[in-house]
Amino acid sequence: MNNKSKNFLKGIKDTSPLMIPVVPFGIIFGVLAIDLGLTPITTIAMSVIIFGGASQIIFLQLFSAGASSLVILSSVGAVNSRHLLYGTVLSEHLSGLNLTWKIIVSYFLVDQAFAVSNNHFKKNKNDKDKHFHLLGGGLNCWTIWQITTLIGIYLGSIIPEKLGLTFAIPLTFLALLVNDFRKLINVIVIITSGTVATLGYQIIPFKAYVIVAALIGLFVAIILTKFVKKKL
């Protein structure tokens, strides 16, 4: 087995344990998309094009609330902007790749793939084929996400309409926030953002309450972080 194959398979192996929570997340997305009236083709296309769990759920939430296209696109872009940071961090390891390879690996640069590949790159700085680790890990994430989306689409088409599963959207986000409740600053930011979003749902025009709440939450986080640093 050559070095490229070893890196590729190691990427798959390293990301596999992280796929356990992705499975129900992908299924929920597929079910909700069908429940909200999207066609199977549109749902699959969204998973292929956007390829981001949190941003796809936000898309569904705003779509179901009747938000404008501008608000939906800007919100999805804001959530996915963290990938700019991922790219910046990995740029020192992948700067030698040609443009084609950079485009390919950037598409597969999701949270789980970044986490394991960044660690792998640090330990194998001189390996010229190390980007195959990111390719393997990212492709593993992509495959699991598409399969679970398809499962969700199938389940969504057979679940009775009366059941209604739109409640799963806020429940999914609450599950994502559980770990953040361990720090007081995080709790303050969450409560602030949640309060602004709730109060602004009927007040803020163009259904832009998500963006406004996120910006205010970010501002509060910056203020609190600077305050804590000064105290230390």
Residue-wise pLDDT for 91-112, tens only, equals 888 888 999 999 999 999 988 8
pLDDT of residue 161: 59
In tens, the pLDDT along 144-166 reads 999 999 999 988 777 665 555 55
Count of C-beta atoms within a 10 Å radius of residue 35: 21
Contact criterion met (CB below 8 Å) for 25 and 146: no
Q: Give the ranges where 50-167 is alpha helix by DSSP (H).
A: 53-65, 69-80, 82-94, 99-107, 111-123, 131-158
> Residue 163 in 3-state DSSP?
coil
> What pLDDT was estimated at residue 71?
83
Query: Treating both helix axes as pointing N-terminal to C-terminal, what angle do 82-94 and 99-107 enclose, rounded to 10 degrees?
Result: 140
Residue type, 40: P
Residue with tokens 């296309």: 45
Give the predicted TM-score (pTM) of the model.
Answer: 0.72
At what angle are helices 22-35 and 168-177 packed, to 10 degrees? 150
Angle between helices 209-231 and 184-200 (to 10 degrees): 150
Structure tokens at 133: 């680790």
Long-range (24+ apart) CB contacts under 8 A made by 190-193 are 190/217, 192/216, 192/217, 192/220, 193/217, 193/220
Compute the distance between CA of residue 70 and CA of residue 5 in angstroms, rounded to an integer.
43
- Residue 228 clears pLDDT 80, i.e. is over it: no
Residues whose CB is less than 8 angstroms from the CB of residue 98 and which lie 6 or more positions away in sequence, other chains included: none
Read off the pLDDT of residues 162-212 as tens digits, 9 standing for 90 and up.
555 556 556 656 655 666 677 888 889 889 988 998 898 888 887 677 778
pLDDT band (50, 70, 90) for residue 131: very high
213 with 193: CB under 8 angstroms? yes
Helix, strand or coil, per DSSP, at residue 199:
helix
